[in-house]
Amino acid sequence: WGDGDYGGDARSVAGRLESGVKQVVANKAAFAALKKDGSLLCWGGAGSGGCPSLKVQPLLVHGVVQVVPSKPGAFAALKEDGSVITWGSP
C-alpha cells in the first residue's frame, strides 16, 4: 500500500515475493528483496534503485548473498564471488 513512486506498489514483483524471501531492505523510495536462491527483486522509485538498469538487472539474477540500502536512494549487493554491484541514485 502507499505511493508507487516510493515503493508502495509491489504488484510488479508480488507473485515472486510469496515465498523464498530471505531479506528485505529499503531506502527512502524503493525496496529490495533478496531471495534464498540468490536472486534479487526491486521495486519503487526508479531513480532510487527500484528499477535497476538493463546493465545491472542481469547481474542480480543469481549469486547475491547480501543487499544493503544506501541513503537516500541507492542499493549495493554483495555477490558470492566477492564482487559488489551498485545501482540507484549516484
The whole domain housing 19 covers 4-88
Give the length of the chain. Answer: 90
Furthest CA-CA distance within the chain: 36
* CA–CA gap between residue 71 and residue 62 (Å, rounded): 25
Domain count, the chain: 1
Q: Give the pLDDT confidence of 41-73 residue by residue, as tens digits.
A: 988 888 887 888 888 999 999 999 999 998 789
Q: Give the pLDDT confidence of 5-34 residue by residue, as tens digits.
A: 655 666 677 778 889 999 999 988 888 999
Provide the pairing of β-strand 30-35 with 21-26.
Answer: antiparallel
* CA–CA gap between residue 47 and residue 17 (Å, rounded): 22
